[in-house]
Structure 1
Amino acid sequence: MDAAHKRKRPDADDDGAAGAVDLSSLEGADDVEVLDLRAAKRLLLAFERRLRDNLEARMKHPDDPARFADSEIALHAETDRLRLLAGAPDLFPDLVPLGLASSLSSLLTHDNADLAAAAASLLADLTDSDDPDDLAGLHSLADALVEANALDLLVHNLSRFSEADPDEAEAVHHTLSVVENLLELRPQLADIVCDRTKLLRWLLARLKAREFDANKQYASEILAILLQDSPANQKRLGNINGVDGLLQAVAMYKSRDPKTSDEEEMLENLFDCLCCVLMPMENKERFVKAEGVELMIIIMKQKKLAYSSAIRTLDFAMTRFPPACERFVDVLGLKTAFAAFMDSCEQEKQKRELSGSTRRTGGITKGSRRIRLLGKFVENECEKIDRLMEFYTRYSERVKAETERLDSLDLDDLEMDEDERYNRKLEAGLYTLQLIALILGHIWHSGNSQMRTRIELLLRQNKLTKDDVKDILEEYHDNIGDLDGPEEKERAQGRTKEIIASLSL
């Protein structure tokens, strides 16, 4: 998912002509070719005068729409003229003190939904730019909009607009576009908007709708942005039954594929959201209780487009959470998972299934479930260990080639330290090799003589020894980070040390 990608309505004109305004339409501007500060101020003042006139007319004649209809037409036209400002973000710091943000925020609250929609459309244009030179101006406008409570008003309008009306559906799209633009300009707003508004609830409800459309796709993208780097939002979504809601959304694709590329992108966003929300431990528990493990197994069995995403989701669910691993065994997930492991031919699918296998072997440490898991490696003359060693030799050769390449370089000239060197090796396949070594280590640590004999035979056939596996695990041990906290780091290093020690026997 590319958070910086700006989405357009499917029916939007490519040349943007629909939103264009001729400079010659400026009231009182004679032969203006460039929008300077003076002309921009006249634009803003004219808009504010029309807004004030309309509000006064409404207050004087609240029960007679005919008496303020003309003023609303004039206000709508003046709002459209403000689109000229989108071409001059450098003027925003001078216009914000004059009321640019506060006036547009007040228009979002207008009783006429068409004018509120026009405000959202205008703000979508004003806050959108890919030019780095525009950032200073855009930041000043974004900060002023937040101070004027524009975020709260935008989210309120999402529920106010009726998507049964095509024009108001487009207004919803523009509103989401403003939210996306503000999040890109000020990423810290992700926590603020979800704390102050009901945006998460609206997005969740929108994604549970069965019919696919452009706004549902956009909602999935906004939710993924909000969850991506925010543990607070991940917990917030879990607290409003978001895990179950996302499972309902992806369940629509358990036995069918998306019909279009846009729908396919939305499904990827949904799984991105699901994986993000599974980061907090309490949401993993909710996932298990909501039968998320069972749903992912069903999706894997169907072998539809969501197949790989289901494996990835299980990987997140089982990371540092043995109850998910145990549920996986209890609902007969091993058969499905090992079938995927044996059939996997794509590199990315191999990595995902190997990662999942590592979670399972490390997360199921005792009892009948452990026996059932290890039994899978024995059946059919240890064919799964054969497959593991096939992967091990393949990735070992890749890592060896990358190591030799790095050794041949002058790292001082490249300004490459040991951390960068290690990252290069990870990218070349070391990460996957470490996963395989961990699984082999867990199998060896079990003490099963049949499996140990098979591993030693295959190592000899490939001119390798247990010391080669130990070297991989020792490098893994030394580079375990503390992203999940010092206690988890200590536990992971302790488990790895036990495996390394068993390989020495």
Structure 2
Amino acid sequence: MESGNPTLKRKRSEVDADTTENGGGDVDLSLLEAVEKSQNTVDVLDLKTLKKLVLSFERRLRDNLEARLKYAEQPEKFADSEIELHEELQKLKILAGGPELYPDLVSLNTIPSILGLLAHDNTDIAIDVVSLLQDLTDEDVLEDNDEPARILVDALIENNALESLVQNLGRLSDSDPDESTAIYNTLATIENLIEVKPAVAEMVCERTKLLRWLLGKIKVREFDSNKQYASEILAILLQNSTANQKKLGQMNGVDVVLQAVAMYKSRDPKSSDEEEMVENLFDCLCCLLMPLENKERFVKAEGVELMIIIMKQKKLAYGSAIRALDFAMTNYPPACERFVDIPISKKNKKERYQEDLEERIISLIASLFGGILRGSRRERLLSKFVENECEKIDRLMELYMRYSDRVKAESERLDNLELDDFEMYEDEKYNRKLESGLYTLQLIAVILGHLWTSEHSGMRSRIELLLKQQKLTKDHVKGILQEYHDNIGDLDGLEEKERAQAKIQKFISAF
């Protein structure tokens, strides 16, 4: 989004003096005419041109500062210098056409001068700067220019660009079209900086109040493009940073994000952009649910109940609610217990789940079994699988066979491939099988393990009968569990790996 060449507005206090007497409107008209005439172009972009642009910009900047100091109470006397400064900032945009010159721009010590204008008394000058920074850091501009991009981004960060950009956000309003565009450009610039230097995602949250600003933006009920972009930036900040996830949790972020998604519990988004925002909000929620303390906040804020309400409404957010529940209940028994304690209406038997929803539901059930190990809740969970003549076991085995057939077909296809590197082949083969549904098949086998070790004769008989009907034995399930056991990683630590493997080994032995 471009802000174009807006007429440079002056603060009301500055304009009052000359708009109430002696034709203040004529001054505004002359400013507009001056802007319209300032469409200079540069034919050749090289170091010499860069130095000329920088020299001219620094001169106009100095003139404006001196005029403002000298005529602080007479805005009409520094209005021309403001227009000229605006023109120079527009001219600097041509540098986006030559990112290879960014190191020279930095060495000329121009970055501090540009960033200093984000605090300019005239908001329109700050808006010009934001537009310039967005152009200079645009993804298309920086592509294939890694080193110049890194030098520019490092210089911006060293000169407090993050702090200045976020501070400037605080004085911008969506009610003004130019300022709304500047908000968008600010978020775009921050995203561009993160793209070049991923560490910026945590830097900006440590050094500024961006997280608080983003929370305030997504709390607003009305939808607009900047609310959508705010949700996207928030998701980017959270997706790979435990520190940001914890920080936002401490800022009541879990509750705010829940409030934001609650707006769609009984209605669908009205446009594709609004739909994208809802997906972003659920991405934020799932990221937030990674740290244990945020799972606790989610349960206390009645997040489990909200997700179930969304599921019942069968609106667009249905699948996202299941995904969020899966994150909440993974390795967190209290969320599993809350889920079991809440009565859920029976699903329509004719309903066909999409594959991604099926996989999430399977993961959710596996999380429930992993989180509820004993007591009355465990009994209630197990009892669901004997209701209506074990219909849920029938459905589970139906899914088991479908995913088993798919994985088998993929394995046979891979066996026919000839690869020179056997070790690489085995790794690649396993990853391909995971992509074709092996992980979901493994989770189904884990659920069957929980059912089998309950030692309920009716459930055991049903499982054996269904396997026999498919000309399979318990060894087939054991094989799936063994492969799962052997490939459990140690991402969560060696102790957690050993604990997980011991649980799977228990199932294998039971079968």
| TM-score > 0.5 by shorter chain | yes
* Matching residue of 2:238: 227
Aligned counterpart in structure 2 of residue 275 of structure 1, from 254, 279, 286: 286
Instruction: Determine the C-alpha separation between the residues in 2 that align with 1:80 and 1:62.
Output: 25
Instruction: Determine the C-alpha separation between the residues in 1 that align with 2:250 and 2:241.
Output: 14
Question: Does the residue aligned with 1:411 lie in a helix, a strand or coil?
Answer: coil
| Contact 1:341–1:350 (CA under 8 A) maintained in structure 2 | no
- CA change 1:444–1:79 in 2 (3 A) is same
Count of matched residue pairs: 480
Instruction: Determine the C-alpha separation between the residues in 2 that align with 1:193 and 1:414.
Output: 45
1:351-390 paired onto structure 2 within 5 Å = 351-390=359-398
* Matching residue of 1:102: 112
Deviation at 1:100, TM superposition (A): 2.7
- CA change 1:349–1:296 in 2 (3 A) is same
Instruction: Determine the C-alpha separation between the residues in 2 that align with 1:43 and 1:490.
Output: 64
One-letter amino acid matched to 2:40: S
Q: Which has the larger radius of gyration?
A: 2
One-letter amino acid matched to 1:310: A
- CA change 1:22–1:452 in 2 (3 A) is farther
* Matching residue of 1:185: 196
One-letter amino acid matched to 2:109: G
| Contact 1:342–1:384 (CA under 8 A) maintained in structure 2 | no
Q: Is 1:62 paired with 2:72?
A: yes
Q: Is 1:76 paired with 2:86?
A: yes
| Contact 2:390–2:462 (CA under 8 A) maintained in structure 1 | yes
- CA change 1:163–1:24 in 2 (3 A) is closer
C-alpha offsets along residues 148-200 of structure 1, whole Å, 9 cap, x if unaligned?
10110001111111221111111111111110110111001111110111111
C-alpha offsets along residues 358-405 of structure 1, whole Å, 9 cap, x if unaligned?
111221111111111111110011011000111111111111111111
Unpaired segments ≥5 residues, structure 1: 1-7, 14-20, 27-31
* Matching residue of 2:460: 452
Deviation at 1:487, TM superposition (A): 2.4
| Contact 2:133–2:189 (CA under 8 A) maintained in structure 1 | yes
* Matching residue of 2:399: 391
* Matching residue of 2:40: 25
Unpaired segments ≥5 residues, structure 2: 6-35
Q: Is 1:93 paired with 2:103?
A: yes
Instruction: Determine the C-alpha separation between the residues in 1 that align with 2:435 and 2:352.
Output: 20
| Contact 1:85–1:126 (CA under 8 A) maintained in structure 2 | yes
1:319-358 paired onto structure 2 within 5 Å = 319-333=330-344, 335=345, 339=347, 343-358=351-366
* Matching residue of 1:44: 54
TM-score for both structures, normalised by structure 1: 0.92
Deviation at 1:342, TM superposition (A): 7.9
TM-score for both structures, normalised by structure 2: 0.91
1:394-413 paired onto structure 2 within 5 Å = 394-412=402-420
Instruction: Determine the C-alpha separation between the residues in 1 that align with 2:450 and 2:51.
Output: 71
Instruction: Determine the C-alpha separation between the residues in 2 that align with 1:428 and 1:411.
Output: 20
- CA change 1:382–1:103 in 2 (3 A) is same
| Contact 1:341–1:353 (CA under 8 A) maintained in structure 2 | no
Instruction: Determine the C-alpha separation between the residues in 2 that align with 1:383 and 1:475.
Output: 28
| Contact 2:38–2:87 (CA under 8 A) maintained in structure 1 | no
Aligned counterpart in structure 2 of residue 167 of structure 1, from 161, 178, 199: 178
Q: Is 1:200 paired with 2:205?
A: no
C-alpha offsets along residues 395-428 of structure 1, whole Å, 9 cap, x if unaligned?
1111111111111112226983422221111011
- CA change 1:12–1:80 in 2 (3 A) is closer
Question: Does the residue aligned with 2:472 lie in a helix, a strand or coil?
Answer: coil
Instruction: Determine the C-alpha separation between the residues in 1 that align with 2:412 and 2:69.
Output: 79
One-letter amino acid matched to 1:403: S
C-alpha offsets along residues 58-96 of structure 1, whole Å, 9 cap, x if unaligned?
112222211211110110111111111010000010111
- CA change 1:314–1:459 in 2 (3 A) is same
- CA change 1:12–1:65 in 2 (3 A) is closer
- CA change 1:292–1:196 in 2 (3 A) is same
Deviation at 1:271, TM superposition (A): 0.3
- CA change 1:241–1:180 in 2 (3 A) is same
Instruction: Determine the C-alpha separation between the residues in 2 that align with 1:396 and 1:12.
Output: 58
Instruction: Determine the C-alpha separation between the residues in 2 that align with 1:369 and 1:12.
Output: 62
Instruction: Determine the C-alpha separation between the residues in 1 that align with 2:257 and 2:173.
Output: 23
* Matching residue of 2:277: 266
C-alpha offsets along residues 35-75 of structure 1, whole Å, 9 cap, x if unaligned?
11101111111111111111111112222211211110110
Question: Does the residue aligned with 1:412 lie in a helix, a strand or coil?
Answer: coil
Instruction: Determine the C-alpha separation between the residues in 2 that align with 1:53 and 1:480.
Output: 67
Instruction: Determine the C-alpha separation between the residues in 1 that align with 2:224 and 2:61.
Output: 34
